[in-house]
Structure 1
Amino acid sequence: MSAVLDQKYEKLFALLDANGDGVIAEDDFTLMAERVLVAFGEERAAGKGKKYADEMMNYWHALRDRADTDGDGRIDGDEFRRAVRQASDDFDTLIGPLYEAGFHLADRDDDGLVSREEFVAVEQAIGVPADEAGATFDLLTEQGGSLTLDRLMAAATQYYRNEDPAHTERHLLFGAL
């Protein structure tokens, strides 16, 4: 694995470890989902909130099935790095649905566009500093405008898969590395 992917996966691991205990477990995914839902005033039981929470749990189960090699229900950093590369190969079915659900949750007026404010709110809820989230949005939208689902999905796919250190814009989905 390249140094760039290692850095991205370390950043992602730190974000997914929502309670900061050094491992990823189901409670981290529950906590992260709650933070995002609260940021948008959504309930876990219905509509966009339910879809997002369900996809967060689907992502957890897929990751656990690939990564939890010792069966303890927790994923440490080594297990995560080995498994996330495999999971990224199945991005469209394992990871993509979570990003799509997050996009629709953030798209408050259902116009197919996410504003800078909405994007920053999601990123902050998952632990990305506001200034880094804003810079990421500006990069993804070329300084102004709104984010489309297609652009988000392309950026997320590149985040998980792209190893080329020359293309730094493909590495900033969750702020600076």
Structure 2
Amino acid sequence: MMSLWEEIAQLADFDKDGMISVDEFKQAVKNSCVGKKYEDFPQAMRAFIEANFRMIDINSDGVMGVEEYRYDCVQRMVVEEIKVIDDAFNSLLNDDDRKLGGLTLSRYQELFALFLGDTSEDCPAKHLFGPLEL
């Protein structure tokens, strides 16, 4: 963990005060991840993304299904109808994802990289964290 913190500090502690502000973190993500493939992300960011996937994959089957996605979303937001969350989840899926019943870690990593790097309104990963409004 210490080496991950050191990597994060190198990437984000621009004023070298030993603390990383929200603005420094956002700039570090922009510099290190935006427009890059997942494999090119810093190790610390990849570790964060993989840990996040594992927390969402509650049953540890290697696939984030709709129930797990729902649970992750409702922890962070209020929605009037569950259909909104289901529609957001379904918008993330390609044909292979549908056959598997959800998102694998590698697909989640791919979508995460798209979420950070594709600023278009029709980004295929725009609902990775739920039915977020633009």
Give the TM-score range, shorter chain: 0.5 to 0.7
TM-score normalized by structure 1?
0.51
How many residues in Structure 1 have an aligned counterpart in Structure 2? 118
Would you say the 8 A contact 2:88–2:127 is kept in 1?
Answer: yes
Q: Percent identity?
A: 24
Q: Pick the structure with more helix per residue.
A: 1
- Runs of 4+ that moved beyond 6 A: none
State the shift of 1:151 in Å.
Answer: 1.8
Task: Report the RMSD for the aligned CA atoms in angstroms.
Answer: 3.2
1:7-156 equivalent positions in 2, closer than 5 A: 58=4, 62-70=7-15, 71=17, 73-77=19-23, 79-88=24-33, 89=36, 90-91=40-41, 93-125=43-75, 127-129=76-78, 133-141=85-93, 145-156=101-112
Structure 1 residue ranges without an equivalent (≥5): 1-53
- Aligned partners of 2:74, 2:32: CA distance in 1, in Å? 24
Structure 2 unaligned residues grouped into runs of 5+: none
Deviations 1:145-170 (A, max 9, x none): 3222222111001112224x253323
Larger Rg, first or second structure (1 or 2): 2
Tell me the TM-score normalized by structure 2. 0.63
Q: Is 2:57–2:68's contact at 8 Å kept on the other side of the alignment?
A: yes
Amino acid at match of 1:85: K
Structure-2 change in CA distance of 1:113 and 1:135 (3 Å): same
